[in-house]
Structure 1
Amino acid sequence: MAKLLMGVTSSISLQLLRGQLEYFSKQGYDIHLICSPSGEIDRMLPENITVHNVRMTREIAPFSDLLSLLRIIMIYLKVRPDITNVSTPKASLLCMIAAFLTRTPMRIYSVIGLRFETCTGKKRKLLHFIEKLVCKLSTTCLAVSSSLKEVLVEERLAPREKIHVLGSGSYNGLDLAEFQLDVVEVAHLKKQYSPDNRRKVIGYVGRLTKDKGIDDLVAAFTELSEEHENLKLLLVGDFEEGDMVSPLTEKRIEEHPDIIKTGFVPKTASYYRLMDVFILPTYREGFGNVILEAAAANVPVITTNVTGAKDAIIPNETGLLVEAGHVADMKKALMTLLEDTDLADKFSRNGRMRVGREFRSEIIWHQLDSVYRETEVDKQDVYEMEK
């Protein structure tokens, strides 16, 4: 039985792995997980997954990071995994260093986004160096989209032959059963968040940060709401201290009568059913999984022409693309889909069919299983290959 050790920074990231750990457990893998301690983990994972709690911070904290690294090294020495697959920035760095030092034969770095893309100066240089180090220490890089792979190559973070994309992209795919209409739950949510059926709902799901383009979205909605009285903005998510929106945006979100912020929601599938149009106005993504989720719920989508996000739609067939930061174009795209119901219906149908055809979880998991089995390397040969 192959030992598979996975690492994520926090339990929130486990939402991105829904169903995957159970699948690989049934395939016969002995699965271990490194994650920051959280009371939610026990109810989020099956009993046969061994969890190793290691406190990790999202931001750079040298002393704390060193202590976490030492703890992680001890876990690798104890478990002696055949394969490690790590993602999210801090867990990837610490786990990959530990995996390399303890001679883990197969070291997979799942690249789900590049934070340095929207940074400048010394911070960008530091984050770029960290990404290059993690890629260098890995034996395989899995990029979650084709455009992300191209950035990895262009930035000389890893050679093209070392980087793979599973199918058409995505980190975990989607379980379409989650997005079947739950009439009772949707009715409850409508009563709570959108009791006025006369209003059109613009929706967003995710972290409320600058990188996600929330400043632009709120600015666009504020202008639209002054021109059209029948609009509402539903933000399913919460603020994040590491990348805060502007004070003006925060004030508007908290005080605007037609902007609703739900806070963090563990299961978002039914929330899409409240939306007439979904938008992800991001400046960078690994892939943009929420776009697939909206499509699976039959909601027409808009996103930006940036790394990762643009892979999640086929322009003018399953959604609309706008340039990041272009508030005027964003407004135009939103009104196009809110007013042209035929076009919105076309995008909804095509988007859902594409999700079912290319992004079902089983498709992604099967290809990942092939990577695990086909790229196995004898322990004695690993360091010879890296010379």
Structure 2
Amino acid sequence: MLNATRVTGSGQSARNAVNWPAPPPQVAPAATLPTPPVLPRIKVLHVITRFVAGAGGNTLLSAEGMDPERYEVWIAGVPGGDLWDRARAAGLRTVEIPGFRHTLTPMDLLVLWRLARLIRRERFTVVHTHSGKGGFLGRAAARLCRTPVVVHTFHGFSFHPYMSRRRRMAYRWLERATRRFTHGFLAVAPRVAEEAVEERLAPPGHVHVVPSAVDLGHIPERFDPVARRVLGVPREKALIGTVGRLDYQKAPWDFIRMAAAIRAVRPDTAFVVIGDGPLEDEARRLAAELDVDITFTGYRPDAAWLVAGLDVFVMTSLYEGLGRALTEALATGRPVVTTAVNGVPDLVEHGATGLLVPPADPEREAQAVGWLLDHPREAAEMGRQGRRRVRTSFDPQAMCAAVDACYRDLLGLPPLPGPSAIGPSRTQGAASGP
């Protein structure tokens, strides 16, 4: 089970060596007391590249869940995406920065200047960065403005084996260069934390693992026949599906080749792809070439609910910090087949909460899906165990409490008393700058 815990470390923060006394009880009802002064709130700026899907959803839940009496939270990032309106509706301050892109461009110097101007004007106490490019631009801007506390979350990595060597080296160098500007590091999974240390993106003993939570309130706990009817597939036919942006990372062509291999031996199987993206037209052409009938729904805001209508969920990503759609599928009790990349094996234990396969191997993916269809009892038990893991370890309140504990520790504030103080373990030391 994933817990909010430190990967490595030693020693203990002197400021937490003794317990700060809890406040005494009030001696009179609050309504009868004189009006107290308004205490200043801690201003936090989240800087993220694309404010969409996995990392964006995690960032939004982190920002929404902070106590508004103690925190004033802002989010800045690449313009566009479906989460900006939701953030504004939640009362968060938002800044869509013109010229900000998810890849390196000459405009980045202007973006850096705009970020620094925002940070200097608003005088943030904490700058919390996310994603590769948002991470090094946000941390560089915070350094220029001498921001007191800088935190970075590893959702995954901006470099991966499938990009050119030159680009991979450039992104790795930029992340390493901004490591010394960072006071605290978080990671969404133990293997992601381990890789960050191995790649020298964070020093040993300074990474907290905080599982990337999902909003469980709108996700069914088991198969939903209404979702199945919306997907238009009769219950007696096996339905295999995936959710995600149709881009290079998600490898939609592998899902289609897997579907073709399954249809060759199970012609009555149905397939659905939920999501859109730049490779949608290419994916449709490949499905037509391989003569496999796949339903492409396009973008669906209710994707997390529709997953409850699947018999098997498949994720074919080439790289993935943890996989938000995967976590949501497990929350519905769906049997899953997923590539064993980055932090995914921390969530999916082969044969217990799902099946793992190598990336870029449609034949192995088809064999794994076929095994689940041939063993419905074992598949259902894997789904139940996966649901139990997600619903006990990926609660947004626990994630926000862990983030709050990180901020408080770096600011020298004592932990909150009681259950609300849930956060990264202090048994092996407190986070601090390198």
2:220 aligns with one of 180, 199, 217: 180
Distance 1:110 1:8 in 2: 10
Superimposed CA distance per residue, residues 232-281 of structure 1 (whole angstroms, 9 cap, x where no aligned partner)? 221111233xxx5895x451246755212222223322111221001112
Question: What corresponds to 1:251 in structure 2?
Answer: 285
Alignment equivalent of 1:127, drawn from 165, 168, 171: 171
Alignment of 1:266-281 (within 5 A): 266-281=301-316
The C-alpha deviation readout for 1:134-190, integer Å capped at 9, x for no partner, is 333211121111111111122222212122212xx32xx12322113699x963x54
1:220 aligns with 2:263: no
Report what 1:22 is aligned to: 64
Q: Greater shift after overlay, 99-108 or 356-365?
A: 356-365
Aligned partner letter, 1:60: L
From 233, 249, 270, give the equivalent of 1:211.
Answer: 249
The verdict on how the C-alpha distance between 1:271 and 1:319 changes in structure 2, with shifts beyond 3 A counting, is same
Aligned partner (choices 167, 170, 187) of residue 143 of structure 1: 187
1:357 partnered with 2:392: yes
Aligned to 2:370: 335
Q: How many residues align?
A: 370
Change (3 A) 1:250 1:61: farther
Percent identity, aligned pairs only, is 26
1:157 corresponds to which residue? 201
Q: Deviations over 1:11-38 (max 9, x none)?
A: 4254333443232143520111113344
Offset at residue 115 of structure 1 (A): 3.1
- Partner SS for 2:411: coil
CA distance in 2, matches of 1:202, 1:39: 27
**What is the RMSD of the two structures over their aligned residues, measured on CA atoms?**
2.6
Larger RCO, structures 1/2 (Cα 8 Å, 6+ apart): 2
Q: CA deviation at 1:9?
A: 2.3
Kept in 2: contact 1:33–1:52 (CA 8 A): yes
5 Å-filtered alignment, 1:91-102, equals 91-102=134-145
> In the superposition, relative to structure 1, how do residues 36 and 122 fare at CA in structure 2: closer, same or farther (>3 Å)?
closer
Q: Secondary structure at the match of 1:7?
A: strand
Determine if contact 1:215/1:246 at 8 Å carries over to the other structure: no
In structure 1, list runs of 5 or more residues that go unmatched.
Answer: 379-384
Question: Are the aligned partners of 1:198 and 1:230 in contact in 2 as well (CA < 8 Å)?
Answer: no
Post-superposition Cα deviations, 1:324-375, rounded to whole Å, max 9, x if no partner, equal 2222221111011122110111011111111122111111111111111112
1:223-302 alignment, distance < 5 Å:
223-240=261-278, 244=279, 247=282, 249-253=283-287, 256=291, 258-302=293-337
Alpha-carbon separation, structure 2, partners of 1:146 and 1:9:
23
Provide the C-alpha distance between the structure 2 equivalents of 1:86 and 1:35, rounded to a whole number of angstroms. Answer: 10
Give secondary structure in 1 for the equivalent of 2:146. coil
Question: Residue 361 of structure 2 aligns to which amino acid in structure 1?
Answer: H
Larger displacement relative to structure 2 (174-183 or 209-218): 174-183
Q: TM-score, normalised by structure 1?
A: 0.88
Shift of 1:88: 2.3
Verify: 1:315 aligned to 2:353, yes or no. Answer: no
CA contact (8 A) 1:25 1:31 kept: no
Q: Which residue of 1 aligns with 2:159?
A: 116
Larger Cα Rg: Structure 1 or Structure 2?
Answer: 2
Which is further off, 137-146 or 5-14? 5-14
Change in 2 beyond 3 A, CA 1:70/1:186 = farther
Deviates more, 1:70-79 or 1:88-97: 88-97
Alpha-carbon shift at residue 6 of structure 1 (Å): 0.8
Instruction: Return the alpha-carbon distance in structure 2 between the equivalents of residues 341 and 285 of structure 1.
Output: 28
Distance change >3 Å, CA 17–CA 159, structure 1 → 2: closer
Contact 1:4 1:29 in 2 (8 A): yes
- Matched to 1:91, the amino acid is G
1:246 and 1:154 map into 2 onto residues whose CA distance is 38
Q: Which amino acid aligns with 2:49?
A: T
TM-aligned CA deviation for residue 43 of structure 1: 4.0
Structure 1 pair 48/287, CA: closer, same or farther in 2 (3 Å)? Answer: same
Structure 1 counterpart of 2:271, one-letter code = L
- Decide whether aligned partners of structure 1 residues 134 and 254 sit closer, same or farther in structure 2, where only a CA change above 3 A counts: farther
Mapped to 2, the partners of 1:221 and 1:43 lie a distance apart of: 35
Structure with the higher helix share, 1 or 2: 1
Structure 1 residue 213, shift from structure 2 partner: 3.1
